[in-house]
Amino acid sequence: MAIHHPSMSKQVEKYTATQIFEEFLPKVLEAQKDIAKQLNAVCVFKVDGKDGGTWTVDLPKQKVNHGDHDHPDMRLELSADDFDALLAGKLDAAEAVKAKRLFFTGRPQLLVGMAALLRPADNN
């Protein structure tokens, strides 16, 4: 079963961080178990602003939980607008870190791996 990224929908509808983390990402983790297990990390995403929140993504367990984690392997904090731009490929993560629009701690390869799981596939 193919999983289509919400941003690829033909409907003119904006998907919130809540929808991405609570509806879309769990399906991706289930379908991409090998990638999730290879990354072998717990990642926290804090999205500030309207429809934002804090989510813990446990890649080995393929689980997404609402809330924080005491000792994540990666932490990413940004605004809801910057989260949307990052997913749409309109915001470069490295540039956003330099501009202090995105706060990141952890292994850089985790950021790359999570981006691959969160962004839509190029082959639609």
pLDDT of residue 40: 92
Structural domain contains residue 5 = no
- 101 in helix, strand or coil? coil
What is the arithmetic mean of pLDDT over 13-37? 87
Q: What is the CATH number of the domain that holds 92?
A: 3.30.1050.10
In terms of residue numbers, what domain contains 98? 14-118
Does 78 reside within a domain? yes
For residues 42 and 58, the answer to whether their CB atoms sit within 8 Å is: yes
* Residue 124 is assigned to a structural domain of this protein: no
Domains held by the chain: number: 1
Q: What six digits make up the tokens of 3?
A: 């999983």
Residue 32 lies in a domain: yes
| Average pLDDT of the segment spanning 19-34 | 90
With beta carbons less than 8 A apart as the criterion, state whether 35 and 43 touch: no
pTM, entire model: 0.82
Q: What percent of the chain has pLDDT over 70?
A: 84
Q: Is residue 3 part of a domain?
A: no
Can you tell me the distance from the alpha carbon of 118 to that of 105, in angstroms, rounded to the nearest whole number?
18
Q: What is the tens place of the pLDDT at every residue in 34-71?
A: 888 889 999 999 999 988 999 999 999 999 999 999 99
